[in-house]
Chains A and B, each alone.
Chain A
Amino acid sequence: MKNENSIELVNVKKKFKIYADKGNSMKDKMLFWKRNQYEDHWVLDDISFAIKKGEAVGLIGRNGCGKSTTLKLINKIMYPTDGKVKVNGRVSSLLELGAGFHPDMTGRENIYTNASIFGMTKKEIEEKIDDIIAFSELDEYIDNPVRTYSSGMYMRLGFSVAINVRADILLIDEILAVGDMSFQKKCFKRLKEIKNAGTTIVIVSHALGQIEQICDRCIWIDYGKIRRIGKPMEVHAEYLKELEKRSQQRMQALNGEPGTGNDSNTFCGREVIRSGSGQLFFTGVELFDRDGNRESVFQTGEYMRAEYTFTAAKEIHKAEFAVRIYGDDDTHYYGSTSVIEKSCTEEIQGKSKFIIEFEKLELLEGDFMLDVDALDENGEVLDRIHDTIRFCIQNTTGRTGICNMSSTWKLE
Chain B
Amino acid sequence: MDKLKELYAYRQMLISLVKKDLRGRYKASVLGFFWTFINPLLQLLVYTVVFSVVMRAGIEKFYIFVFVALVPWIFFSSALTGGANIIVMNQDMIQKIYFPRIVLPISYVTSCFVNMLFSFIVIFAVLFVTGYGFNFTACLFLPLIMIIEYIFALGLALITSACTVYLRDLEHILGIVSMAWMYMSPVVYPLSFIPKELQSVFQLNPMAPIITAYRDILYYKQIPQMQTLLLATVTGIVFVCVGCFVFERLQRGFVEEL
Q: Is the CB of A16 within 8 A of B24?
A: no
Q: Is the CB of B98 within 8 A of A113?
A: no
Residue of A nearest to B252 (CB): A79
Q: Is the CB of A26 within 8 A of B255?
A: no
Which chain B residues border A105 with CB–CB below 8 Å? 20, 23-24, 27
Q: Is the CB of B27 within 8 A of A96?
A: no
The answer to whether B61 has its CB under 8 Å from any CB of chain A is no
Given A16-B256, A119-B9: A100 in contact with B98 (beta carbons within 8 A): no
Which chain B residues border A78 with CB–CB below 8 Å? 255-256
Q: Is the CB of B98 within 8 A of A25?
A: no
Interface size in chain B (residues, C-beta < 8 A): 30
Q: How close is B166's CB to chain A, nearest CB, in angstroms?
A: 8
CA distance A27 to B168 in the complex (A): 10
Which chain B residues border A109 with CB–CB below 8 Å? 20
Residue of A nearest to B167 (CB): A26
Q: Is the CB of A26 within 8 A of B169?
A: yes
Residue of B nearest to A23 (CB): B168
The digit string for B157-190, where 1 denotes a CB below 8 A from any CB of A, is 0000000001111000000000000000000000
Q: Is the CB of B95 within 8 A of A112?
A: no
The digit string for A194-210, where 1 denotes a CB below 8 A from any CB of B, is 00000000000000000
The answer to whether B56 has its CB under 8 Å from any CB of chain A is no
From 116 to 155 in chain A, residues with beta carbon under 8 angstroms from any chain B beta carbon are: 116-122, 125
Given A104-B27, A116-B12, A117-B13: A93 in contact with B97 (beta carbons within 8 A): yes
From 3 to 22 in chain B, residues with beta carbon under 8 angstroms from any chain A beta carbon are: 9-13, 15-17, 19-20
Q: Is the CB of A99 within 8 A of B93?
A: yes
Q: Is the CB of A104 within 8 A of B256?
A: no
Given A72-B255, A125-B12: A91 in contact with B98 (beta carbons within 8 A): yes
Given A77-B97, A96-B97: A116 in contact with B9 (beta carbons within 8 A): no
Residue of A nearest to B28 (CB): A104
Which chain A residues border B10 with CB–CB below 8 Å? 116, 119
Given A26-B167, A72-B255, A79-B252: A113 in contact with B20 (beta carbons within 8 A): yes
Residue of A29, A75, A102, A115 ringed by the most chain B CB atoms within 10 A = A102
Q: Is the CB of B93 within 8 A of A17?
A: no
Q: How close is A294's CB to chain B, nearest CB, in angstroms?
A: 43
Which chain B residues border A79 with CB–CB below 8 Å? 252
Which chain B residues border A77 with CB–CB below 8 Å? 94-98, 255
From 71 to 108 in chain B, residues with beta carbon under 8 angstroms from any chain A beta carbon are: 92-99
CA distance A121 to B167 in the complex (A): 35
Which chain A residues border B166 with CB–CB below 8 Å? 24
The answer to whether A76 has its CB under 8 Å from any CB of chain B is yes
Q: Is the CB of A119 within 8 A of B27?
A: no
Residue of B12, B28, B94 ringed by the most chain A CB atoms within 10 A = B12
Q: Is the CB of A96 within 8 A of B256?
A: no
Q: How close is B171's CB to chain A, nearest CB, in angstroms?
A: 10
Tell me which of B9, B168, B256 contacts A17 (CB under 8 A).
B256
Q: Is the CB of B168 within 8 A of A96?
A: no
Which chain A residues border B27 with CB–CB below 8 Å? 102, 104-105
CA distance A121 to B15 in the complex (A): 10
Which chain A residues border B169 with CB–CB below 8 Å? 25-27
Tell me which of A24, A29, A122 contacts B12 (CB under 8 A).
A122
CA distance A117 to B98 in the complex (A): 8
Which chain B residues border A306 with CB–CB below 8 Å? none
Q: How close is B172's CB to chain A, nearest CB, in angstroms?
A: 9
The answer to whether A322 has its CB under 8 Å from any CB of chain B is no
Which chain A residues border B17 with CB–CB below 8 Å? 100, 113, 116
Q: Is the CB of A113 within 8 A of B168?
A: no
CA distance A120 to B16 in the complex (A): 11
CA distance A29 to B12 in the complex (A): 39
Given A26-B169, A77-B255: A96 in contact with B16 (beta carbons within 8 A): no
Which chain A residues border B96 with CB–CB below 8 Å? 77, 93, 95-96, 99
Which chain A residues border B20 with CB–CB below 8 Å? 100, 102, 105, 109, 113
Q: How close is B193's CB to chain A, nearest CB, in angstroms?
A: 35
Q: How close is A24's CB to chain B, nearest CB, in angstroms?
A: 5
Residue of A nearest to B94 (CB): A77
Given A93-B96, A116-B13: A102 in contact with B24 (beta carbons within 8 A): yes
Which chain B residues border A76 with CB–CB below 8 Å? 98
Tell me which of B12, B98, B167 contacts A93 (CB under 8 A).
B98
Q: Is the CB of B16 within 8 A of A116?
A: yes
From 326 to 343 in chain A, residues with beta carbon under 8 angstroms from any chain B beta carbon are: none
CA distance A120 to B97 in the complex (A): 14
Given A77-B95, A113-B17: A24 in contact with B23 (beta carbons within 8 A): no
Residue of B nearest to A16 (CB): B256
Q: Is the CB of A116 within 8 A of B167?
A: no
What are the 7 tightest A-B residue pairs by CB atom distance, in nearest-first order?
A96-B96, A104-B27, A116-B12, A116-B13, A26-B169, A116-B16, A113-B16
Q: List 18 A-B residue pairs with CB atoms under 8 Å apart, sorted by A's residue number.
A: A24-B167, A24-B168, A25-B168, A25-B169, A75-B97, A79-B252, A93-B97, A96-B95, A96-B96, A99-B96, A102-B24, A102-B27, A104-B24, A116-B12, A117-B13, A117-B93, A119-B9, A119-B12
Enumerate chain B interface residues (CB-CB to A < 8 A). 9-13, 15-17, 19-20, 23-24, 27-28, 92-99, 166-169, 252, 255-257
- Give 7 A-B pairs besides A93-B96, A112-B16 with Cβ atoms closer than 8 angstroms: A75-B97, A77-B97, A77-B255, A78-B255, A93-B98, A117-B93, A118-B97
